[in-house]
Structures are given as C-alpha cells and as structure tokens.
Amino acid sequence: MTVKYLPWILAVIAIWLIAAPFALGYAMTEPAMHNDVAVGVVILLGSLFWGFSELRRYGHSSDTQAQRR
C-alpha cells in the first residue's frame, strides 16, 4: 500500500471515532464522548486537508511517483 491512501484511511478512522460513542452506547459518559468526538474532528480535518492538498498537488493519477520526477 502506498502513502497516497493514508489521508483517506485516517479520515475513515476519524469518522469512526466520532460515531463510536453513539454506536457503542457510551455517549452518556460525557468525558469519554467529548474526547472521542474532539480527537475525531481534529484528525478528520487534518486528514481531509492533507488528502485534498495531495489531490491538488498531484492530481487524480494512480502513479504519483512518475509525476514527482
């Protein structure tokens, strides 16, 4: 697996962090819920920024190594 998919994998993990308190039923434990949601939002924003900047920089091509040369 190449690094070009890493921002999108991190975005999926961040979405799970945001949804986990509600899906797993510990939303009533407010400190744990706030922690998961806050960390998830930070990771999601960072990964989306990283992912879209890579798309803008290298385009939608599947071979980013050839474009860097």
Structurally, the chain folds into a number of domains equal to 1
Report the pLDDT value the prediction gives residue 65, as an integer from 0 to 100.
Answer: 54
Question: Residue 16 is part of which domain span?
Answer: 3-61
27 is a domain residue:
yes
| Residue with the two structure tokens 């994998």 | 9
68 is a domain residue:
no
pLDDT in tens, the chain (69 residues): 467 899 999 999 999 999 999 999 999 999 999 999 999 999 999 999 999 998 888 877 655 455 555
40 is a domain residue:
yes
- The DSSP output letter for 59 is T
17 is a domain residue:
yes
Report the pLDDT value the prediction gives residue 24, as an integer from 0 to 100.
Answer: 96
CA angle 50, 53, 58 (to 5 degrees): 120
How many angstroms separate the first and last alpha carbons of the chain? Answer: 20
Which residues have C-beta within 8 Å of that of residue 66, sequence separation ≥ 6?
A: none
